[in-house]
Amino acid sequence: MAPACYRVQQNGVDLFVWLTPKSSSDAIDGPGAQADGSVHLAARVRAVPEKGAANSALERLLAGAFGLPRSCVSVVGGSTSRLKTVRLLGDPADLAKAVEEVVVLAGRDR
């Protein structure tokens, strides 16, 4: 089984995201891998990486993609890095399934 771009937590999942700011559109691009073998979900936003604008745009993008209220999505790691940890709050099993579906759909669109 391939490594996942998320980790199940007690109250949701932590999603590992590689964010590209200042893009021409907001989108989830699909799975990607780092040189160390770790896996992430590639995403891009139009917002610039200043004063948390790109992080907020990422939170809005993921909330919409997973059908979650904006308050259930937050960047919890890597706030000034391109590689981020985003916490999705909710039922862990449901969220893990939703993440897998989004990863598969985004991977097909590549």
Angstrom distance (rounded) from CA 47 to CA 21: 6
Angstrom distance (rounded) from CA 35 to CA 21: 21
Q: Is residue 54 part of a domain?
A: yes
Q: Is residue 46 part of a domain?
A: yes
Residues in the chain, total = 110
Instruction: Work out the average pLDDT over 8-12.
Output: 94
Over residues 32-79, the pLDDT tens digits come to: 888 888 889 999 999 999 999 999 999 999 999 999 999 999 999 999
Domain count, the chain: 1
Q: Is residue 44 part of a domain?
A: yes
Query: Any idea what the CATH number is for the domain that residue 95 is in?
Result: 3.30.1200.10
Query: Percentage of the chain with pLDDT > 70?
Result: 93
Question: pTM for the full model?
Answer: 0.91
On the question of pLDDT at 84 being above 90, the answer is yes
Range of the domain at 20: 6-109
Is the Cβ–Cβ distance between 109 and 30 less than 8 Å? yes
Q: What angle do CA 80, 14, 5 make, to 5 degrees?
A: 90
Q: Is residue 1 part of a domain?
A: no
Q: Is residue 94 part of a domain?
A: yes
Q: Is residue 76 part of a domain?
A: yes
Amino acid 47: pLDDT: 96
Instruction: Work out the average pLDDT over 19-27.
Output: 95
pLDDT-derived band of residue 31, with 50, 70 and 90 as boundaries?
Answer: confident
48 exposure class (CB count in 10 Å sphere: 0-12, 13-18, 19+): exposed
Give the number of other Cβ atoms within 10 Å of residue 40's Cβ: 21
Q: Is residue 102 part of a domain?
A: yes
